[in-house]
Structure 1
Amino acid sequence: MANYVLVAGAWLGSWAWEEVAAQLRAAGHDAHPLTLSGLAERQGVPAGQQTHVRDIVAEVERLDLREVVLVGHSYAGIPVGQAAERIGDRLARVVFVDANVPVDGGSFVSGWPDGRAMVEAAIAAHDGFWPPLTAADCAGQGLDAEQIARIVAGATPHPGATLTEPAELAARLSELPAVYVKCLLDGEDPGPEVAALLKGERWSLVRMPTGHWPMFSQPAELAQVLLGVAVGASVAGVRA
């Protein structure tokens, strides 16, 4: 039995994983969707990037979890990647779902040069928060109108410090046992940092024919990918 710790990306909370978590539990595993500080029901809690790393590590330790599959979507790949190396032998594998990956000394915005100025300006104009998604931001990502409405209604402002503070890695990310899930409607290229990691023996790539929020657009398919990770199925067998 695996213990999945599921962390959604910017603006979202544990609620985003409801459908995926239900399918993981139905297959006999435990699923622990986690809301990071400052988001969803935890709005008002001050948060920087290292706060989010501590949130994840603390949840694993509080529940005394073993055989942990840490899953980080989008922004959450940055704190999840750092937390993965801090939980030691509790980790079975880390899964990055169309995610940013941490770079030692780098931040979310430094890894997004084309959008850095836009994100920083938005944070400055909204009292230190990145304003939530709009329906237009979700267009072209394989989502129907109901799914888009659900994402927009649940999204909350994202603490800006989590996006600008640097990551802290103690070792090379390539040493982690990892799967990267690339959602093709959000672009076929996983980016240069991920491409370099995928050259190593411990990283594998899975492609999904959907958009950036597969927990909404293809929850059953994403759950199957995660189940394959837990049971040790050949990741090559689910590659596109």
Structure 2
Amino acid sequence: MAEFVLVAGAWLGAWAWGEVVPELRAAGHGAHPLTLSGLAERRGVPAGQQTHVRDVVGEVERRDLREVVLVGHSYAGIPVGQAAERIGDRLARVVFVDSDVPVDGESFASGWSEEGRAALRASFAEHGGFWAPPTAAGYSGQGLTDGQVARIVDGATPHPGATLTEPAVLAGPLDALPATYVKCLLDGPEPSDVVAGLLTSERWRLVEMDTGHWPMFSRPRELARILLDAAAG
């Protein structure tokens, strides 16, 4: 039996996995959706990027989980990737769902254009140090129904800014981890250059989904099948 720890990306919480978790549990596995500090029902909890790494590691250790499949979506790939190397032999696999991946010494925003970083700083200034979630228009072209977009927009909360600007800390090469990368094609046909390099490792696998950046909403059953296949090795 695998134990899935599922972490959604910026602005989201454990609630985002509501249609995926029952599929995993029905297949006989444990499923533990996690809300990171400062988001959703944990709003108000101070958080930097390393806080989020500790959130993930702490969930694994608190529940004394083994055969862990860590799942990180979007931004959450950065703390999940760091947590994966910190939980040692508890880890069975890490799955990055259309996500960023940690690069030692670099932050979530390190690779952004100056224009993008300026927009991020402006959001921090306007929203008290937080990254404001997109409006409904920001989810267009991602394979989502109007109802799914409304659900995301209604549930989204501002994202703690420090988590986006603090650098990742890796003890070893990320390509040494057993990993699956899920590329959502409506969000771009090719993985980033960093991910493409990692995918040359014999320990990494690529899976493509013909949907957008939020597959836990647009294709939850298909995503669950991919996660189950990843856990099976």
- TM-score, normalization: structure 1? 0.95
Tell me the residue number matched to 1:73.
73
Moved over 6 A (4+): none
Question: For residues 120 and 79 of structure 2, what CA distance do their matches in structure 1 show?
Answer: 18
1:161 maps to 2:151: no
The aligned counterpart of 1:26 is 26
Partner AA of 1:217 in structure 2: S
1:104 maps to what in 2? 104
Q: 1:16 corresponds to which letter in structure 2? A: A
Corresponding residue number in structure 2 for 1:117:
118
Q: 2:136 matched to which residue of 1?
A: 135
Could you tell me the percent identity over the aligned residues?
A: 75
When normalised by structure 2's length, the TM-score is: 0.98
| Structure 1 match to 2:181 | 180
Matched residues in 2 for 1:131 and 1:223: separation?
29
Q: The residue matched to 1:115 in structure 2 has which SS?
A: helix
Alignment partner, residue 152 of structure 1: 153
Q: Match for 2:99: what amino acid? A: A
Please say if 1:48 is aligned against 2:53. no
Q: Deviations over 1:11-44 (max 9, x none)?
A: 0000000110110000100000000000000000
1:46 aligns to what SS in structure 2? coil
> What is the rounded CA distance, in whole Å, between the counterparts of 2:111 and 2:23 in structure 1?
33
8 Å Cα contact 1:11-1:133 kept in structure 2: no
Q: Name the SS for the 1:223 alignment partner.
A: helix
Contact 1:5 1:33 in 2 (8 A): yes
Structure 2 partner of 1:16: 16
- The answer to whether the 8 Å contact 1:93/1:178 transfers is yes
For 2:58 and 2:137, locate their aligned partners in 1 and report how far apart those are by CA, in whole Å.
Answer: 35
Q: Secondary structure at the match of 1:70?
A: strand
Q: Which moved more, 1:116-125 or 1:56-65?
A: 116-125
Q: Specify the code of the residue in structure 2 equivalent to 1:71.
A: V
User: Which whole-Å CA distance do the structure 2 matches of 1:95 and 1:183 have between them?
Assistant: 13
Shift of 1:119: 1.4
Distance apart, 1:124 and its partner CA? 2.0
d(CA) in 1 for partners of 2:17 and 2:111?
26
SS at match of 2:206: strand
Q: CA separation in 2, counterparts of 1:117 and 1:63?
A: 40
SS of 1:54 mapped into structure 2: helix
Structure 1 counterpart SS, 2:230: helix
Structure 1 vs Structure 2 CA RMSD = 0.8
Instruction: Return the offset for 1:215.
Output: 0.1
Kept in 2: contact 1:53–1:82 (CA 8 A): yes
**Which amino acid is the alignment partner of residue 41 of structure 1?**
E
Aligned equivalents of 2:99 and 2:76: distance in 1?
A: 7
Matched, 1:82 2:82: yes
Contact 1:47 1:161 survives alignment (8 Å) = yes
SS of equivalent residue, structure 2 residue 19: helix
Task: Determine whether 1:39 maps to 2:52.
Answer: no
**Deviations for 1:215-237, whole angstroms, at most 9, x for unmatched residues?**
000000000000001122xxxxx
CA distance in 1, matches of 2:155, 2:179: 29
Counterpart check, 1:222 vs 2:210: no
Gaps of 5+ in 2: none
Tell me how far 1:132 sits from its aligned partner: 1.4
Separation of aligned partners in 2, 1:181 and 1:75: 14
